[in-house]
Amino acid sequence: MNTRFTKVGASILAATVALSVPAMAQNTMVGGAEMLPTNNIVENAVNSADHTTLVAAVQAAGLAETLSGPGPFTVFAPTNAAFEKLPDGTVEGLLEPESLEALQTILTCHVVPTEAFSPAVGAMIMAGGGTAELETVGGCTLTASIDPTSNALMITDENGNAATVLIPDVDQSNGVIHVIDTVLLPAS
């Protein structure tokens, strides 16, 4: 048997197994809490100390029931620190009842109506020649790319704001969460 072929085949098999075993690996920790793949997006998010602002916003927007539903969803979940980067008073203003529609639009621009783990997003980026467009539930178009310096997955909104995926592939019963460092906004 050709030894070179055997080594290449073994490498491909090892890579395939490594990418297809997230459920057998240790559960991801986010915000000091174990994210259980048997829980839905909302059940896990409420346990993350890094996502209290996001959870409050989801509840204020009336989206908790939707994100607890069957999905599948891919959620780009901004941390509390991401919300803190917004201008002073922005979050408080968005949580006011008169801002409900704007809050819902912003939050649904973080949700893609499919389950997209990072290897699938990476494949879309490769097929797209370096970028991939992701259509969100909120009608926004996000652009996925790979930072050439850090090799991190980047998500850019319609205004050019780029978010780095800090923790990819947090498996949920109804999809996947990618933790990001910037709030994504619809085109202004």
Regarding the domain with residue range 26-180, which homologous superfamily does it belong to in the CATH classification?
A: FAS1 domain (2.30.180.10)
- Residues 121-173: pLDDT tens digits? 999 999 999 999 999 999 999 999 999 999 999 999 999 999 999 999 999 99
- 79, exposed or middle or buried, with CB in 10 Å at 0-12, 13-18, 19+? buried
Q: What is the mean pLDDT of residues 48-52?
A: 91
Classify residue 138 as exposed, middle or buried by CB count within 10 Å of its CB (0-12, 13-18, 19+): middle
| Lookup: tokens for 102 | 């704007």
Q: Has residue 2 got a pLDDT over 70? A: no
For the chain, the structural domain boundaries read 26-180
Give residues with Cβ within 8 angstroms of 145, minimum separation 6: 125, 130, 131, 132, 153, 154, 156
Strands 33-34 and 132-135: unpaired
Which pLDDT band holds residue 74 (cuts at 50, 70, 90)? very high
Q: Average pLDDT of the chain?
A: 86
The pTM assigned to this predicted structure is 0.84
> What is residue 12's predicted lDDT score, i.e. its pLDDT?
33
pLDDT for 7 equals: 38
| 8 Å CB contact between 102 and 138 | no
CA dist 76 and 133 (Å) reads: 14
Give CA 149 to chain center in angstroms.
Answer: 21
Q: Rounded to whole angstroms, how far apart are CA atoms 94 and 58?
A: 11
Please give the average per-residue pLDDT across 78-95, as a whole number. Answer: 94
Flag whether pLDDT at 117 surpasses 50.
yes
3-state secondary structure 14-82: HHHHHHCCCCCCCCCEECCEECCCCCCHHHHHCCCHHHHHHHHHHHHCCCHHHHHCCCCEEEEEECHHH
d(CA 148, CA 136): 25
